[in-house]
Amino acid sequence: MIGEINHRNKQVAQEILEIQLPAYGIEAELMDFYEIPQLHETAIDIQNSGELFVGFQEEELMGVVSYKMVDGLVDIHRLIVNPAYFRRGIGKRLLEYLLKRYKGYEFIVSTGTANKPAIALYQAFGFQEQRKVEVAPGIECTVFGLRN
């Protein structure tokens, strides 16, 4: 089931963190960059986030997408799936949910340029590369946009 989740709830924030750390750990390995901000967040940081959170949940929380709405722009901040559930379409379903919910809006998202699975997912939905940003010496993120 996909729906909004209350990240301000201590238990929910902890569940998000338990998915986030290993998911971003894999991205850090792909990028060979371990200073991804979400790798250093705590449950309290998640609770205090100004983002809106949507979760994919069956018996447990399996994936999360978070975003902010800024002047008609859906700015996706994180799309994470518990690595135990990779390759089951959870990220795809979370992205479909947002695109359907905000039909007619513009979307923006960034990911590590070395994160080929994430890039393939965004491109499959029609996201177009807008620019590359060097986040640290020799480390790039790619910014994608979509007019839905």
Q: What is the mean pLDDT of the chain?
A: 95
Domain over 2-147 is classified CATH 3.40.630.30: yes
pLDDT tier at 31, thresholds 50, 70, 90? confident
Long-range Cβ contacts of 132-138 (<8 Å, 24+ apart)? 135/33, 136/33, 136/35
pLDDT tier at 108, thresholds 50, 70, 90? very high
Residue 72 has a pLDDT of 87
Q: Mean pLDDT throughout 77-89? A: 95
- Examine the pLDDT at 1 and tell me if it is beyond 90: yes
Q: Mean pLDDT throughout 115-121? A: 94
Residue whose pair of structure tokens reads 């901040």 in the numeric block: 77
Q: What residues does each domain of the chain span? A: 2-147
Q: Mean pLDDT throughout 38-55? A: 96
- Examine the pLDDT at 33 and tell me if it is beyond 90: no
CB-based contact 74:98 (threshold 8 Å): yes
